[in-house]
Amino acid sequence: MDLFPLGWMHYLAGGLLLGAGMSLLFIGTGFIGGMSTVFTTVWSWFSKAPAFQEERIVASRKWRLVYAAGLVLGAAAWMLTLGESFVTQVPAWQLALGGFIAGFGARLSNGCTAGHGICGMASLQPPSILAVVIFLFTAMLTANLVKAFA
Amino acid sequence: MKPATFIFALAAGALFGFGLALSTMVKPEVVLAFLTFKDMGLLLVLGGAMAVTFLAYQFAPRLLGKPLAGDKFLVHPSEMSARTLGGAALFGIGWGLCGVCPGPAIAGLGVGNWPLLISLAGLLAGAYVQGRFFGR
């Protein structure tokens, strides 16, 4: 069985760059660069609900938005230099429902693939490591079920 | 926001986004291929990112004392709780359904992957329902 049918170098290089981004944020500002929190912080401008007005949410909402804008710019820079545009064929209902459940779950868990998967694991935190094991398991289960029945 | 904070956040995000695009994590098809055991590439992405970040988290505070343009190095302790673990289980179900997690949902727009706007709307809606009705 071929573990990497599409090659492996771009995966590793991409991962190292991703880590470099997290590291630059930390070295420059001291911030921890999880990604899902931005979805909560943007609501702080629109909703008075207490969860959106917590100090840590309001205090980080500006840099998180800049960080997210950087994500779009960085990906666009890749498209204009090494890569090309790509449009997914995953059905809209999967994108919508999956996005909703992932957004709810990541915020309940206070972390996603970036927050728990990279930041939490890189700081050797047992709850994050366990969270990664759990979400990898449920994600694999779900993806295989969808593949079998869809 | 201090200009230096703006520049660091933007540059860090850009590196992150470039890495997500280079590693093809902005393609849900690639993520789903990993989750269905067809291509183990995502492990290299995660491992590479973790290794670099681990070094920064370990050594930056010792070598620098404080961030280049900030007051202190923050820590973000995750808690061992039903919320953390149950939320992770739900997150995995959503991720396995669409192949899109928060970083790629945003970065994917940079490579013109416009259907990810649907996932982005879903992520925002999920975060709203969580904060509005299930916040502490």
Q: How does DSSP assign B75-90, residue by residue? A: ------SHHHHHHHHH
Residue B42: closest CA among A88, A132, A128, A48: A132
* Chain A / chain B CB contacts < 8 angstroms: 546
Q: Per residue in A78-100, pLDDT tens?
A: 999 999 999 999 999 999 999 99
> Does residue A1 surpass a pLDDT of 80?
no
Residues whose CB is less than 8 angstroms from the CB of residue A4 and which lie 6 or more positions away in sequence, other chains included = A11, B39, B40, B41, B44
Residues whose CB is less than 8 angstroms from the CB of residue A12 and which lie 6 or more positions away in sequence, other chains included = B44, B45, B47, B48
Report if residue A150 sits inside a domain.
no
Taking every pair of Cα atoms in chain A, the longest distance, rounded to a whole number of angstroms, is 53
Test mutation, B53, B106, B120, B129, chain A, max A CBs within 10 A: B53
Residue A102: closest CA among A143, A144, A145, A150: A143
- What pLDDT does B27 receive? 98
Partners of B65 on chain A (C-beta within 8 Å) are none
Contact criterion met (CB < 8 Å) for B15 and A20: yes
Distance from CA of B3 to the nearest CA of A (A): 11
Residue A143: closest CA among B67, B25, B94, B21: B94
- What pLDDT does B136 receive? 78
**A42 vs B136, higher pLDDT:** A42
Write the burial class of residue B15 (CB in 10 Å: 0-12 exposed, 13-18 middle, 19+ buried). buried
Residue ranges making up the domain that contains A59: 34-86
CA-to-CA separations, B34 to A53, A57, B42, B74, in angstroms, rounded: 37, 33, 6, 33
Residue B8: closest CA among A77, A81, A64: A64
Test mutation, A109, A128, A132, A141, chain B, max B CBs within 10 A: A109
Both A92 and A121 in one domain: the answer is yes
Both A50 and A80 in one domain: the answer is yes
CA-to-CA separations, A17 to A25, A76, A87, A135, in angstroms, rounded: 12, 15, 23, 23
Partners of B44 on chain A (C-beta within 8 Å) are 4, 8, 11-12, 15
- What pLDDT does A112 receive? 95
Q: Per residue in A109-142, pLDDT tens?
A: 999 999 999 999 999 999 999 999 999 999 999 9
- What pLDDT does A35 receive? 97
The one-character DSSP state at A113 is T
Average pLDDT, chain B: 97
Q: Which amino acid is at A89?
A: Q
Q: Per-residue confidence at B40, pLDDT binned at 50, 70, 90?
A: very high
- What pLDDT does A136 receive? 98
Residues of A (98-127) whose Cβ lies below 8 Å from B? 98-127
Distance CA A96, CA B94 (A): 9
Partners of A95 on chain B (C-beta within 8 Å) are 28, 98, 100, 115-116, 118-119, 122
Distance from CA of B46 to the nearest CA of A (A): 6
Residues of A (78-97) whose Cβ lies below 8 Å from B? 78-79, 82-90, 92, 94-97
Both A128 and A96 in one domain: the answer is yes
SS3 content of chain B, % helix, strand, coil (to 5): 70, 0, 30
> Does residue B66 surpass a pLDDT of 80?
yes
Q: Do B99 and A142 contact (CB within 8 A), yes or no?
A: no
User: Scanning every residue of chain A, which has its alpha carbon at the shortest distance from the alpha carbon of B113?
Assistant: A87
Torsions phi, psi for B17 (to 5 deg): -65, -40
Give ipTM to 2 decimals.
0.97
Question: Span A15-36, mean pLDDT?
Answer: 97
Contact criterion met (CB < 8 Å) for B81 and A127: yes
| Structure tokens belonging to residue B67 | 């961030």
Residue A52: closest CA among B76, B131, B127: B131
Q: Per residue in A30-80, pLDDT tens?
A: 999 999 999 999 999 999 999 999 999 999 999 999 999 999 999 999 999
Helix, strand, or coil here: A37? helix
Q: Do A8 and B48 contact (CB within 8 A), yes or no?
A: no
Number of domains present in the structure of chain A: 3
Partners of A73 on chain B (C-beta within 8 Å) are 10, 13-14, 17, 110
Both A116 and A139 in one domain: the answer is yes
Question: Span B14-40, mean pLDDT?
Answer: 98
> Does residue B81 surpass a pLDDT of 80?
yes
- What pLDDT does A66 receive? 98
Supply the pTM of this predicted model: 0.97
Distance from CA of B64 to the nearest CA of A (A): 8
**Among residues of chain B, what percentage have pLDDT more than 90?**
98
The one-character DSSP state at A53 is S
Distance CA B55, CA B58 (A): 5
Both A42 and A76 in one domain: the answer is yes
Q: Per-residue confidence at A150, pLDDT binned at 50, 70, 90?
A: confident
